[in-house]
Copies of this chain bind each other. A is one copy, B any other.
Amino acid sequence: MSTSTAAAVTAEELFDQACGQARRAAVLASVEALLGWDEQTLLPPRAGGYRAEQAAAVAALVHGIRTDPAHGDRLARLAAGPLARSGPAEVAGTIRLLNRDFQKQSRLPARLVEELARTCVEAQQAWREARAESAWEKLRPWLERVFALKREQAACQLPDRDPYDALMDDYEPGASWPAVAARFDALRGQLVDLVRACVGSPRRPDDTLLRGSFPEAAQQRFVREVAARIGFDFSRGRLDTTAHPFCATMGPHDCRITTRWDERFLPTALFGVLHEAGHGLYEQGLPTAWRGLPPGEAASLGVHESQSRLWENLVGRSAAFWEWCFPLAREAFPGPLAGATTRGVQRAVLAVRPSFIRVEADEVTYNLHVMLRFDLERALVQGSLAVADLPDAWNERFERDFGIRPPTAADGVLQDIHWSAGLVGYFPTYTLGNLFAAQLMYAAEAALPRLDRDMAAGRFAGLLDWLRRNVHAHGRLVESERLVEQACGGPASERWLVSSLQRRYGEAHGL
């Protein structure tokens, strides 16, 4: 029967059917994304339990569509057929990647998918309370359940691989922890040296001018203007307020970024929004004709992070950017910036100061925060650390790396939403993103000789266009390291990040 059906259907028809099914799953997955966005942004306090049921129900439906055996059968036939061998790159890539997705998904029992979705919604509610009260014990039992479920997920999906690699594969396809650890180790020594030199310099930048009274309403107007200027399309997106900033996409024309506001410290929202808008520009730049299919999806979280970090740090902390932005900022905040100069702000945004909170960290120490989480979550997954021992492990490692000890759990182990949200194996993609961003920016500068002058005049379209063509347009047809290599004309390496940081921070600190 299967043969006679196969004979009656052309490869093209089969491909359309498989894509239709993948797109149906994507429509429901985008509904799940809305449930998550709303949950973090607007949900009434007592509605968390029912939201968990809603999320679990939709997650189960998505899983059912993605793991439908008839879908798998069609994908297997496509993989053995002519389109996979000699179809256009997008078509062959779609067949290859949908097959890979199907294999991974269908090894996950529906029960586990539902339980993960439900547990993570409730764990995030618990995290919000625990963080507000700095009460670790409110989160601990939830994290124990989350990590147990994630280990189960790893064992189901990629039983032959190290469990941490299996989890990382969801975010950075093809990455393996020994390789990542080796690259991070190569980076760590140079960062520690640079931090030490910056902190010890007698000519450290003064960032007190960024501290003062920055009313939220004025910040709202200012950061919206900046986000729109770099290219974030508000007719296809939103900016809202949450405790933990994020970017979520609920459709090809519905990308939503969030931020928090600190009325006493301008960089929190400004660089937060530049970061999330960088994610948003990537989402808004993916080929909409392929929405719901691999050519219309992001390559990896590392590549995603390269886009956010590029706009946050390599644009937002550049001298050229502040040539344009400083007059705008002074108009928005005439009080605190009355005595400031362009040069003063250019140096202030490059101040290095070890601190407790990752999302407020300077660009140089940031990667030390990430490496700490990478090592701790790996130990939790691999079984060499118990959740109950996590706060002590965090504080000890933090003191070793930063020379300071978090005074409260909210300043330490409770600061990130990721683990409560089931995002394990996700943190290393932040530093991979920094590596990719630095390398991409060097390549963009080489390709765009007027880039500095354009940015100084508030023109960012050339850079965005370069990223659109070299990164966004490829969807996830090319794996991250290869994508960076293609875009930059040389293999991915951490030396670009080291060079970029040494040049910019060295200069700002008079090294």
Contacts and interface: CB of A to CB of B under 8 A. Distances in A.
A285 interface: no
A44 B237 contact: yes
A42 B235 CA distance: 11
A256 B43 CA distance: 10
Contact of A34 (B34, B236, B255): B34
Contacts of A27: 50, 53-54, 57
A61 interface: yes
A49 interface: yes
Give how many copies assemble into the complex: 2
A27 B255 CA distance: 25
A221 to B, nearest CB: 16
A241 B236 CA distance: 20
A51 B251 contact: yes
Interface string A5-20: 0000000000000000
Contacts of A254: 43-44, 47, 50-51
A238 B39 CA distance: 13
A58 B31 contact: yes
A55 to B, nearest CB: 9
A28 interface: yes
A155 to B, nearest CB: 29
Interface in A288-315: none
A253 interface: yes
A198 interface: no
Nearest to A291: B50
A271 B256 CA distance: 32
B30 A50 contact: yes
Interface string A28-39: 101100110010
Interface string A235-268: 1111000000000001111111000000000000
A111 interface: no
A222 to B, nearest CB: 20
A449 interface: no
A46 B238 contact: no
B238 A42 contact: yes
A178 interface: no
A202 interface: no
A88 interface: no
A57 B44 contact: no
A45 interface: yes
Contact of A38 (B38, B58, B253, B255): B38
A254 B39 CA distance: 11
A253 B28 contact: no
B24 A54 contact: no
A58 to B, nearest CB: 6
A235 B46 contact: yes
A54 B31 contact: yes
Contacts of A237: 44
A344 to B, nearest CB: 34
A61 to B, nearest CB: 7
B49 A30 contact: no
Nearest to A255: B44
A39 to B, nearest CB: 10
Interface string A49-67: 1110110011001000000
B46 A236 contact: yes
B253 A49 contact: yes
A460 to B, nearest CB: 21
A499 to B, nearest CB: 39
Contacts of A44: 234-238, 253-256
A234 B47 CA distance: 11
A141 B34 CA distance: 30
B34 A251 contact: no
A235 B38 CA distance: 15
- Between A42, A235, A237, the greatest number of chain B beta carbons within 10 A of the residue's beta carbon is seen for A42
Given A35-B31, A57-B27, A50 B253 contact: yes
A49 B42 CA distance: 23
A379 to B, nearest CB: 38
A34 B50 CA distance: 13
Contacts of A253: 44, 46-47, 49-50
Nearest to A234: B44
Contact of A50 (B38, B42, B57, B251): B251
19 contacts: A30-B50, A31-B31, A31-B35, A31-B54, A31-B57, A31-B58, A34-B34, A38-B38, A44-B236, A44-B238, A44-B253, A44-B256, A45-B235, A46-B236, A47-B254, A49-B253, A50-B252, A54-B251, A61-B61
Given A38-B38, A42-B238, A44-B254, 13 more contacts: A28-B54, A28-B57, A28-B58, A31-B54, A31-B58, A44-B234, A44-B235, A46-B235, A46-B236, A47-B236, A47-B251, A47-B253, A61-B61
